């Protein structure tokens, strides 16, 4: 994994990456050959960060059946429960792409509620 701080650093050229987005077609295990690009920020700030990416990105969404366990304090989108915490989205994406998830949620405070809420236990 690589982390980039916006606007201080620019991501690398994102060819062969998919951006997780609520409005893209669903992510499937057929997308295994792609790298995964995840933007972490409030919904409005994420839009600004996405707009700063110069090359066109392939977008994919996660199935809408997944719900967040993260307690939201601000409106996030039309369906607040669908807006997953970044670590939750990463975990689900890794499951779909059949990548190793061991340890991903180890330090996530809402790990157990998230796994139970989404029948992942």
At 76 the pLDDT is 52
At 40 the pLDDT is 78
H helices present in 4-99, as ranges:
43-51, 86-96
At 94 the pLDDT is 97
Q: Block means of pLDDT (10 residues each) for the chain, length 121 residues? A: 69 82 92 89 70 79 93 61 84 97 96 96 83
At 43 the pLDDT is 64
Q: Whole-prediction pTM value?
A: 0.83
> What is the greatest pairwise CA distance in the chain?
39
Of 90, 39, 97, 47, nearest in space to 68 by CA: 90
At 100 the pLDDT is 96
How far apart are the C-alpha atoms of 20 and 46, rounded to whole Å? 11
Residue 114 CB-density burial (10 A; 0-12 exposed, 13-18 middle, 19+ buried): buried
At 115 the pLDDT is 98
At 15 the pLDDT is 83
């Amino acid at each position: 994994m690589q982390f980039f701080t916006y606007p201080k650093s620019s991501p690398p050229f994102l060819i062969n990456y998919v951006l997780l987005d609520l409005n893209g077609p669903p992510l499937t295990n057929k997308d295994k050959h792609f790298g995964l690009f995840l933007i972490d920020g409030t919904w409005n700030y994420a839009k600004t960060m996405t707009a700063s990416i110069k090359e066109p990105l392939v977008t994919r969404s996660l199935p809408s059946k997944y719900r967040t366990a993260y307690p939201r304090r601000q409106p996030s989108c039309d369906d607040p429960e669908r807006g997953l915490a970044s670590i939750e989205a990463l975990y689900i994406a890794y499951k779909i792409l059949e990548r190793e998830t061991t340890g991903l949620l180890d330090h996530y405070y809402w790990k157990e509620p998230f796994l139970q809420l989404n029948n992942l236990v």
